[in-house]
Amino acid sequence: AQKITQTQPGMFVQEKEAVTLDCTYDTSDPSYGLFWYKQPSSGEMIFLIYQGSYDQQNATEGRYSLNFQKARKSANLVISASQLGDSAMYFCAMREGTSGTYKYIFGTGTRLKVLA
Amino acid sequence: EAGVAQSPRYKIIEKRQSVAFWCNPISGHATLYWYQQILGQGPKLLIQFQNNGVVDDSQLPKDRFSAERLKGVDSTLKIQPAKLEDSAVYLCASSRRDGSYNEQFFGPGTRLTVL
């Protein structure tokens, strides 16, 4: 079974509008972390935002926010005021385990295209 | 702070040949990861080191892939012999053992093409 599911292979958004990229996860571990990474066409993976399973507040980092719904096991990324430079692949990832033995699992990604 | 370094950036080989990739993690990062990213897919963990010990190599095809991390710093990943399906980008990442996020920092990757 997929542990990280990203159901949107591709998304379009108009410049300056907000967009939500979906991510659902599956784990029985009570302690876990959720990450979003951006991968431009150049190939490097860029860390965007992190949400811990025990965090009460939704994470925010500038124009990025994470809509964390623990009961639904979803961790959607919201990008506000989209910019042309946001066009890239976006990966949701989950970290399970304990310090020193963490395991990371990535989803299949969503390709976002921002339109001028 | 210097990022994760990888070399070579690109490699083209014939099937059945061998190839090696090198990774230098961020200074002080105890954990090092090798991922395989096939075109159109997310990264798949091949092997994870904590210092110079292997934490997880459950998805490493051990009949042809090997990796080592001598002295707990640099690491090499080797494929011998290569198959067509090994064509992919090989990403190296590192993270601190103890940090608030333990986020992974990725290198630029090595794009391998097997002909």
Residue B44, beta-bridge partner list? B36
Residue that has been written with the tokens 């290198």 in this structure: B107
A109:B42 CB<8 A: yes
Is the distance from CB of A111 to CB of A10 less than 8 angstroms? Answer: yes
B105 CB neighbour count, 10 Å cutoff:
19
Q: What is the pLDDT of residues B40-53, one digit of tens each?
A: 889 999 999 988 88
Look at residues A34, A102, A95 and name the one whose alpha carbon lies nearest to residue A65.
A34
Which residue of A lies nearest to B93 if distances are taken between CA atoms? A45
Is the distance from CB of A23 to CB of A15 less than 8 angstroms? Answer: no
Where chain B has pLDDT below 70, the residues are 1, 97-102
Cβ of residue A103 closer than 8 Å to a chain B Cβ: yes
Q: What is the pLDDT of residues A56-67, one digit of tens each?
A: 899 999 999 999
A83, with CB counted inside 10 A (0-12, 13-18, 19+), is exposed
